[in-house]
Amino acid sequence: MLELDLILNKFFEHRMMNLSQDNKKLFLELLDLDDKDIWRILYSGFDTKYDSLTSLIHQDNYKEFESEK
């Protein structure tokens, strides 16, 4: 899914090096999931074990959206 590629590639480029070891492991685990499952985790609003990671991804995307205005 192109949208996920754009979101997750940007996150990887800007944040991966500064993530905690736990979040790095979660990110790699997240990437092993199917696209539809990743999308659901990122945008469902349900609590998951990926919440700490998804909040960082959302922060980055919100900043990008705001800078485009």
In sequence order, which residues have a C-beta less than 8 Å from that of residue 50 and are 6 or more positions away? 26, 30, 41
Residue of higher predicted confidence among 3 and 66? 3
pLDDT digit string (tens) for 4-60? 998 899 899 888 899 999 999 999 999 999 999 999 999 887 778 999 889 888 887
Q: Residue 66 pLDDT more than 60?
A: no
Q: Give residue 59's domain range.
A: 2-68
Domain count, the chain: 1
Going from the C-alpha of 19 to that of each of 9, 25, 62, 66, the distances in angstroms are 15, 9, 18, 23
